[in-house]
């Protein structure tokens, strides 16, 4: 009798069927793999979110330093006769290039949380300040909602 490659006895047919069934994964194995993938996704998401918070603060500090530079340019410009700007809008004079490159209007001066930067003009006896009120957009707060002022941004710049 010639071997056709097909099982002829009942026992051979059972062995072939059970071998085919064992070729897949069990439900428990699949659930373990899905749980591991879920755990890894959670860890990655948490790390990305923490880096996003840090990136927003770094971006706000860089913007504040750039606004500070523009304020200094405004003051030394001969047309302004040594005076400090009274608002951030003064950095965008009509009919002239703005003191802050890459921006065309004061409306574009928003922190990474979408809130306008806060400028406090210099008065006799006090320096000016530029600030972002953080994620909540109001003074005070901690962590992502903490305020970031010019002095803080300049300290961070010195550390680099």
* Nearest to 129, CA basis, from 116, 140, 138, 120: 120
> Please, is 109 exposed, middle or buried when counting C-beta atoms within 10 Å of its C-beta (0-12, 13-18, 19+)?
buried
Angle CA(11)–CA(16)–CA(18) in degrees, nearest 5?
95
pLDDT given at position 125: 75
Domains of the chain in start order, with CATH, are 24-159 (3.30.700.10)
Mean pLDDT estimate for the chain:
86
Q: Outline where 27-97 has alpha helix (H).
A: 27-76
Residues near 93 by beta carbon (within 8 Å), at least 6 away in sequence: 99
Is pLDDT larger for residue 81 or for residue 43? 43
In eight-state DSSP terms, residue 148 is: E
Is pTM beyond 0.85 here? no
Other C-beta atoms within 10 Å of 31: how many?
Answer: 11
The tokens describing 106, both together, are 């004061």
Residues near 31 by beta carbon (within 8 Å), at least 6 away in sequence: none
The H or E element containing residue 152 is helix 150-159
Q: Considering only 32-36, 47-51, 131-135, which range has the smallest mean pLDDT?
A: 47-51
Using one digit for the tens of pLDDT, what is the confidence trace for 14-45? 666 655 556 788 999 999 999 999 999 999 99
For 98-133, the DSSP string reads: -SSTT--SGGG-B-TTS-B-EEE--BTTB--EEEE-
């Amino acid at each position: 009798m010639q071997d056709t490659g097909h099982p002829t006895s009942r026992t051979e047919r059972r062995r072939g069927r059970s071998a085919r069934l064992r070729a897949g994964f069990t439900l428990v194995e699949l659930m373990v793999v899905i749980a591991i993938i879920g755990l890894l996704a959670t860890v990655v998401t948490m790390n990305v979110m923490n880096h996003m918070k840090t990136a927003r603060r770094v971006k706000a500090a860089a913007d504040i330093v750039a606004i500070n530079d523009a304020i200094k340019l405004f003051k030394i410009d001969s047309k302004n006769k040594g005076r400090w700007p009274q608002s951030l809008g003064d950095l965008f004079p009509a009919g002239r290039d703005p003191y802050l490159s890459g921006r065309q209007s004061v409306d574009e001066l928003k922190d990474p949380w979408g809130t306008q930067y806060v400028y406090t003009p210099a008065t006799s006896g006090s320096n000016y300040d530029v600030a972002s009120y953080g994620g909540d957009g109001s003074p005070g707060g901690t962590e992502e909602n903490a305020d970031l002022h010019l002095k803080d941004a300049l300290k961070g710049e010195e550390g680099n």
